């Protein structure tokens, strides 16, 4: 596992809506946590008090080391307001402290020989992949594919500079060379057609596979999307990882609340995952 | 002022009244790792980690103060985090592996949670080979929670564990609402509970605790029955039967519809059950249900509990138990309580 899991109170730096129904939360001063890897998650309590007694798991979408007056690790993640818990989280103000447990989970484990990875995300699931794309220093090119409901979501989740208008985005291959050594190709699909492919990210993935010989696929998003991605990858014999979600209580492997079925056995999403070999998941 | 924190739960010596509630703590490894991380792996390196961490600090002190030193594989001194507890109560074990329930298994409710795990466990043999050898080195009494579909299965689990010196006591689970056969069906029928208790009693001289369900009309009836059948102690309460509905699908959220409610929401129910059972029977009680702070612990003891288990609060804050160990002793000292047993059943009229 590497880095030890610690429980601490962390400072809310920022918590704001960035698109319709989509929020971004940044936490600072993660004392005791040295590093977080892409694919790992944290468990976060939703404010003080006893109304919300269970922490919620959130995939870390980026981690940076702060310097200056308040040094330490800072993490950012995106969440959708979907129920009572996330509605409470949306009312947390900068300056408040929240209880955090982490880092948790295994993180992505791409084969070291990966040359042309495709990182495909649906909605809020995409957020961590932008960060994950930095972890392929030896690849020829990294492909990022986001599917989201509209332009606002794409801009919020990707942070990709809006240097290209809708016309350029209509062309699915936008090559940007700003990322250090490895060329990154960015692909967009929107439900309403505001940007990129008008349709699903899975449709766009199928198109891309006709042109590019991917050797690794990482998927994070709604379950039906990941199931389709896994099938497409398996049809072409491409190694595929998926990051699964589940209702969780403890987050550390003790309560057996978040089990999924795999070809090997029932596994705990929190402690054995959340990243699984897509071929082993019994969809 | 030093406080005597030790209690005896039906013959089980506990150095303080606190233990984990079965099913929330697995066999303790996951929590031990987090407690150890909080102390930086050793007491000598334990330092306050920041102004915001006052809650964690007291827990850290408890792990450090209560944790026992032991030589690890490298010959260096290591700390045994679980040894700060009065006992560890491990997840329910059955004779054969149980795969548990399908579908969603946990969800949050207002100040509580519902679970429908279904007593998933690898079976007693796997526990004996995978977890018990580790637990045996942790310098803490081990209470094994026992489940079965039939009385014979309960007995078979105990027979297997009788040859294991690392087991300190048994807790018979006759109160789980999340399985179709066994579990709660024994605990809502006084004669079935008594028969099961007597059968297990005959197999072991170890402390025998019977865990009761609140999902009965009169919990004292079941309590008296298991007392007469030879139980050494009673633990209560297991979860309260409840449900949740997915309004989009218009179906029960859980596949079995019913699930078990736990957390602060059920504390008043649990406290009332402990209070009534304490008046009805002479057995020591292990109280539980929504305990999350030191006031809760003291309330349960005043109501009649000899020891107190923490369950759902472990999910809310994994440092809860070591923090309560430290805070309970502090509370006794500040209140002039010299022996914690003074509290047991100490509530006035």
Residues of A in contact with B30 (CB under 8 A): 250, 252-254, 271
Of A35-49, A194-208, B105-119, B314-328, which range is least confident? A35-49
User: Residue B322 above 70 pLDDT?
Assistant: yes
Q: How far is CA A190 from CA A202, A207, A242, in A?
A: 11, 15, 21
Q: Is residue A276 part of a domain?
A: yes
pLDDT value at residue A1: 43
Residue A263 and residue A202 share a domain:
no
Q: Last residue of a domain, which of A104, A132, A161?
A: A104
What pLDDT, on the 0 to 100 scale, is given for residue B53?
44
Average pLDDT, integer, range A229-250: 96
pLDDT at A21 > cutoff 70: yes
Say yes or no: A159 and A92 in one domain: no
CA atoms of A29 and A69, how far apart (whole Å): 10
Residue A124 domain-assigned? yes
Question: 3-state class of B31 per DSSP?
Answer: helix
* pLDDT attached to residue A186: 93
H or E element that contains A272: helix A269-272
Which residue segment(s) compose the domain that A195 sits in?
117-242
Residues A137 and A232 in one domain: yes
Distance from CA of A50 to the nearest CA of B (A): 5
Q: pLDDT for A136-151, tens place per residue?
A: 999 999 999 999 999 9
The answer on A216 and A170 residing in a single domain is yes
- Give B202 to chain A, closest Cα distance, Å: 32
Average pLDDT of chain B is: 91
Compare B322 and A70 and report the one with higher pLDDT. B322
In terms of domains, do A187 and A260 share one? no
> Residue B249: pLDDT above 70?
yes
Q: Which of A104, A131, A165 is the last residue of a domain?
A: A104
The verdict on A127 and A199 lying in the same domain is yes
* pLDDT band at residue B180 under the 50/70/90 scheme: confident
Same domain, yes or no: A232 and A252: no
* Cβ-based contacts under 8 A for chains A and B: 122
Number of domains forming the structure of chain A: 3
The answer as to whether A207 is a domain residue is yes
Question: Same structural domain for residues A132 and A233?
Answer: yes
**Bridge partners, A239 (sequence order):** A216
Sign of CA dihedral A146, A151, A153, A154: positive
Helix (H, G, I), strand (E, B) or coil at A85: helix
Domain at A89, CATH number = 2.40.30.10
B34·A55 Cβ contact <8 A? no
Average pLDDT over residues B96-123: 96
On whether residue A252 sits in a domain, the answer given is yes
What local confidence, expressed as pLDDT, does residue B76 receive?
46
Residue A268 tokens read as 């705990």
- Residues A250, A236, single domain; the answer is no
Q: Which burial class, exposed, middle or buried, applies to A277 when counting CB atoms under 10 A from its CB (0-12, 13-18, 19+)?
A: middle
Q: What share of chain B is helix, strand, coil (3-state, %, to 5)?
A: 40, 20, 40
What confidence category does residue B52 fall into, taking pLDDT thresholds of 50, 70 and 90? very low
Question: pLDDT confidence of A171, banded at 50, 70, 90?
Answer: very low
* A37 belongs to a structural domain: yes
Domains within chain B, CATH numbers bracketed:
7-41+78-100+121-240+262-343 (3.20.20.70)
- Condensed to tens digits (0 to 9), the pLDDT of residues B120-159 reads 999 999 999 999 999 999 999 999 999 999 999 999 999 9
Last residue of a domain, one of A75, A104, A133: A104
* A112 located within any domain: no
Q: Do residues A199 and A189 touch, judged by C-beta distance below 8 A?
A: yes
Q: Classify A49 in phi/psi space as left (phi over 0), alpha (psi -120 to 50) or beta.
A: left
pLDDT over 70 at B28, yes or no: yes
> How far lies B296's CA from each of A22, A218, B15, B85, B260, in Å?
38, 46, 19, 17, 20
Tokens at A222, concatenated: 């709604």
CATH of the domain at A269: 2.10.240.10
Find the chain A residues whose C-beta atoms sit closer than 8 A to any C-beta of B.
4-11, 29, 31-32, 45, 50-55, 84-85, 97, 99, 101, 247-259, 266, 271
Q: Which residue has the higher pLDDT, B276 or B64?
A: B276
Which member of B84, B176, B200, B332 is catalytic?
Answer: B176
Instruction: Residue A150: give its domain's CATH number.
Output: 3.40.50.80
Q: Do B314 and A53 touch (CB under 8 A)?
A: no
Confidence at residue B177, expressed as pLDDT on a 0 to 100 scale? 82
Beta-bridged to residue A186, according to DSSP, are: A144, A174
Q: Which of the four pLDDT bands, split at 50, 70 and 90, describes residue A280?
A: very high
> DSSP per residue over B131-197, as a string?
THHHHTTS-S-EEEEE--SSHHHHHHHHHHHHT-TT--EEEEE---TT-SSSTHHHHTSHHHHHHHH
pLDDT of residue B66: 57
Q: Is the pLDDT of residue B240 over 60?
A: yes
Q: With CA atoms as reference, report the closest residue to B115 among B301, B275, B258.
A: B258
The answer to whether residues A235 and A145 belong to one domain is yes
Whether residue A109 is contained in a domain is answered as no
Distance from CA of B339 to the nearest CA of A (A): 31
Instruction: Taking residues B7-30, report their average pLDDT.
Output: 97
A121, A220 contact by CB (below 8 A): yes
Between A160 and B97, name the one with better pLDDT. B97
**Which residues are paired to B183 by β-bridges?**
none
Query: What is the Cβ-side half-sphere exposure of residue B167, based on CA atoms within 13 angstroms?
Result: 25
Query: A52 lies in a domain?
Result: yes
Pairing of strands B88-93, A216-220: unpaired
Q: Are A216 and A272 in the same domain? A: no
Same domain (yes/no): A99, A19: yes
Q: Name every chain B residue with its beta carbon within 8 A of the beta carbon of A271.
A: 30
As a whole number, mean pLDDT of residues A222-241 equals 97
CB-nearest to B113 from A9, A54, A99 is A54
């Amino acid at each position: 596992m590497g880095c030890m899991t610690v429980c601490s109170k962390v400072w809310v730096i920022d918590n704001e809506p960035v698109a319709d129904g989509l929020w971004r939360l940044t936490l600072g001063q993660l004392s005791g946590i040295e590093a977080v890897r892409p694919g790992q998650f944290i468990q976060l309590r939703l404010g003080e008090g006893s109304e919300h007694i269970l922490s919620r798991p959130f995939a870390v979408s980026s981690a940076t080391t702060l310097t200056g007056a308040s040094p330490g690790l800072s993490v950012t993640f995106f969440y959708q307001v979907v129920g009572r818990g996330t509605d409470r989280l949306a009312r947390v103000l900068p300056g408040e402290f929240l209880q955090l447990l982490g880092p948790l989970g295994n993180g992505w484990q791409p084969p070291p020989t990966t040359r042309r990875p495709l990182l495909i995300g649906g909605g809020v699931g995409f957020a961590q992949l932008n960060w994950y794309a930095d972890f392929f220093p030896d690849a020829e090119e990294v492909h990022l594919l986001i599917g989201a409901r509209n332009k606002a979501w794409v801009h919020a989740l990707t942070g990709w500079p809006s240097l290209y208008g809708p016309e350029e985005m209509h062309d699915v291959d936008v090559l940007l060379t700003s990322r250090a050594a490895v060329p990154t190709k960015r692909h967009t699909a929107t439900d309403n057609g505001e940007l990129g492919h008008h349709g699903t990210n899975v449709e766009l993935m199928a198109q891309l596979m006709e042109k590019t010989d991917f050797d690794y696929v990482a998927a994070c998003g709604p379950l039906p999307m990941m199931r389709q991605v896994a099938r497409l990858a398996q049809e072409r014999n491409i190694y595929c990882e998926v990051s699964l979600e589940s209702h969780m209580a403890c987050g550390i492997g003790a309560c057996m609340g978040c089990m999924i079925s795999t070809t090997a056995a029932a596994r705990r999403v929190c402690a054995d995952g959340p990243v699984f070999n897509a071929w082993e998941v019994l969809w | 002022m030093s406080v005597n924190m030790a209690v005896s739960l039906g013959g089980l010596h506990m150095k303080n009244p606190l233990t984990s509630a079965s099913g929330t703590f697995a066999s303790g490894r996951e929590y031990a790792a987090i407690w150890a991380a909080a102390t930086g792996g050793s007491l000598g390196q334990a330092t306050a980690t920041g102004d915001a961490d006052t809650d964690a600090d007291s827990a850290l002190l408890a792990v450090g103060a209560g944790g026992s030193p032991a030589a690890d594989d490298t010959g260096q001194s290591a700390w045994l985090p679980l040894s700060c507890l009065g006992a560890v109560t491990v997840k329910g074990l059955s004779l054969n592996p149980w795969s548990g329930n399908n579908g969603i298994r946990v969800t949050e409710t207002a100040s509580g949670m519902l679970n429908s795990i279904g007593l998933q466990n690898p079976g007693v043999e796997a526990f004996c080979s995978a977890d018990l050898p580790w637990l045996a080195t942790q310098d803490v009494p081990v209470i094994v929670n026992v489940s079965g579909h039939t009385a014979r299965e309960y007995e078979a689990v105990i027979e297997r564990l009788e040859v294991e010196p690392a087991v300190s006591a048994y807790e018979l689970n006759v109160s789980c609402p999340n399985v179709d056969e066994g579990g709660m069906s024994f605990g809502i029928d006084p004669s079935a509970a008594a028969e099961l208790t007597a059968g297990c009693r005959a197999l072991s001289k170890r402390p025998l605790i019977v865990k009761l369900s609140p999902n009965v009309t009169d919990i004292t009836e079941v309590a008296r029955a298991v007392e007469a059948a030879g139980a050494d102690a009673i633990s209560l309460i297991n979860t309260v039967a409840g449900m949740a509905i997915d309004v989009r699908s218009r179906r029960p959220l859980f596949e079995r519809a019913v699930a078990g409610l736990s957390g602060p929401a059920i504390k008043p129910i649990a406290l009332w059950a402990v209070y009534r059972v304490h008046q009805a029977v002479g057995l020591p009680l292990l109280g539980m249900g929504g305990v999350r702070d030191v006031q809760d612990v003291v309330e349960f003891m005043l109501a009649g509990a000899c020891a107190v288990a923490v369950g759902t609060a472990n999910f809310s804050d994994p440092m809860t138990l070591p923090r309560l160990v430290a805070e309970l002793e502090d509370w006794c000292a500040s209140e002039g309580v010299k022996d914690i047993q003074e509290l047991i059943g100490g509530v006035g009229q």
